[in-house]
């Protein structure tokens, strides 16, 4: 199951990287340009700063969401492992029970065959002079 854990970790790291890249792209997209509205440059820098903070928060939330997803995935894998183990134990029990029933059936068949042979011998002796 180490492969599953490794895959989950890789997926988490990939999601975190995607969130970071998306946050960076959002920062780059919102951060440029001059003042075309005629406002002061102070309000533009405040807007850029606010946008940058929002993008950073979104990126952090994305990373946290990815981490939660990885943890949930691990839990589901553990639950799956437990259910698989239970199924395996149940299958083993059924196999053992069927082996016991097969042996019992075989013994019963052998006993009936021996009884049949004895009856056939007795009848043959009765019929023969």
pLDDT in tens, 81-120: 888 888 888 888 888 877 777 777 888 888 888 888 888 8
Residue 17's alpha-carbon distances to 10, 25, 61, in angstroms, are 10, 12, 12
pLDDT at 41 > cutoff 60: no
d(CA 108, CA 17): 68
Classify residue 59 as exposed, middle or buried by CB count within 10 Å of its CB (0-12, 13-18, 19+).
Answer: buried
Sign of the C-alpha dihedral computed for residues 35, 39, 40 and 43 taken in this order:
negative
């Amino acid at each position: 199951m180490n492969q599953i854990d490794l895959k989950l970790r890789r997926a988490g790291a990939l999601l975190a990287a995607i969130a970071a890249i998306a946050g960076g792209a959002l920062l780059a997209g919102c951060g440029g340009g001059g003042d075309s509205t005629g406002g002061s440059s102070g309000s533009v820098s405040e807007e850029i700063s606010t946008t940058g903070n929002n993008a950073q928060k979104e990126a952090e939330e994305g990373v946290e969401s990815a981490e939660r997803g990885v943890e949930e995935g691990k839990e589901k894998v553990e639950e799956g492992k437990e259910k698989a183990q239970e199924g395996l134990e149940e299958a083993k029990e059924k196999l053992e029970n069927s082996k016991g029933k097969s042996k019992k059936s075989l013994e019963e068949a052998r006993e009936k065959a021996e009884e049949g042979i004895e009856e056939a011998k007795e009848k043959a002796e009765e019929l023969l002079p």
